[in-house]
Amino acid sequence: MDADLDLRHVTPAFRTFCGAGALRALPRELDRVGARRAVIVCGPSLSRQAGTVQRLTDVLGDRLAALFAEVRAHSPLPSVLAARDALATHDADAIVAVGGGSAVVTARAAAVLLAEQAGVHDLCTRRAADGRLISPRLSAPKLPQWVVATTPTTAYAKAGAAVRDPVTGERLALYDPKARAQGVILDPAMALTAPAELTWSAALNVFAMAVEGLTSRTADPLADALLSHALRTVVTWLPGTRTQPGQAQPRLHLMLAALMAGQGSDATGGGLAQALSHAIGPRSSAANGVVEALLLPHALRFAADAIDDRLTAMAGYLGLADHKPDAVIAEIERLLIAFEVPQRLREVDVSAPDLHAAATHAMDDWALSAAPRVPGAEDVHALLNAAW
């Protein structure tokens, strides 16, 4: 280890249950904190799966207070406010988010808004006069939460929740370590409730997050260990979402990769592809993970001069004999083609006029501040045009 390595790595408490009996841990987890009125937060498609709902109902028993099934993609503010109101109406003392990233983020944001008793614009991260992004300190205790995962998402163990204002198109980021989930349940039957296409697109987000975490300027061997194994796991198991769509094993491995990438990127921060996908994703016909993966090589090339040593290290994680940065980026492009990722934003129905609005919103994204080379507005426009 380098003598000048200055490291602070915090590992928040988090409990992971994976396997055929994982769901049976949920009532014990609720009992552990004395919760008796849990509200399930999920999307409408899952609520229409009668067998799945019955399974959750049977497991929770009299601990289940209500089921809120109005989660929407990209966690739009009206859906989050409705979730907050449902928690209040049913006097919830715990939340069980069932689904993928949108369910997790909606549940977390609703918990923050309920506890803080204030509007989202008063609580969200905002840019100060000097250009710094500032997150208000949110002091109220938050309801304990658990995630029953149906897709891989790096959101499982995060402290932040970004909701989308459909009126302005802004992403409003709420950050509160007290809003982290207590743990995640990775159950094979629940994993198979999601369409294989959704698992595929979510795993692409995990891939991109792992790569951007490994190319950050943060020197953290503990984070690198999580991120590098997440990267290898996705490369190994993502093809199984196509070749074995009815098998749970690839999905569970991808869920574990998502957890590792989420925890690792907690220490390293986000990146340029992540920030741009937040702005472009809602304007496209593709899932956010697809857009982020599409933008990843462009973001890496933009930052290459600042991260040549990090790219060189990544060559070993990918099993490359050639450790040159260009070779690493070329391998990532090759993998994305093998993963069947579209090559151009126009292929996912992003229009040319959308690029300007997306670039403007991306400049205020919290993930941008963690990029190894922070772009200016002209750089973002040029990058999006090149990807279009």
CA atoms lying within 13 Å on the CB side of residue 177: 8
For residue 314, with 0-12 CB atoms within 10 Å meaning exposed, 13-18 middle and 19 or more buried, which class applies? Answer: buried
pTM of this prediction exceeds 0.85: yes
pLDDT digits (tens, 9 = 90+) for 41-56: 999 999 999 999 999 9
Same fold, 15-190 and 195-387: no
**pLDDT value of residue 2:** 53
- Residue 81 has a CB neighbour count (10 Å cut-off) of 16
CATH number, span 15-190: 3.40.50.1970
Do the beta carbons of residue 76 and residue 104 sit within 8 Å? no
**pLDDT value of residue 376:** 87
Residues of the chain with pLDDT under 70: 1-4
**pLDDT value of residue 1:** 42
Sequence spans of domains, the chain: 15-190, 195-387
In terms of C-beta distances under 8 Å and separation of at least 24 residues, what long-range contacts does 375-379 make, across chains too?
A: 375/272, 375/302, 379/302
* β pairing state of 126-127 and 133-134: antiparallel
Q: How far, in Å, CA of 257 to CA of 158, rounded?
A: 14
Q: How far, in Å, CA of 119 to CA of 147, rounded?
A: 25
Nearest to 231 by CA among 338, 295, 344, 319: 319
pLDDT digits (tens, 9 = 90+) for 248-258: 999 999 999 99
**pLDDT value of residue 67:** 98
CATH class for the domain made up of 195-387: mainly alpha
CA distance to 2, 108, 191, 216, 227, per residue, from 222 (Å): 14, 26, 28, 14, 9
Nearest to 252 by CA among 147, 103, 150: 150
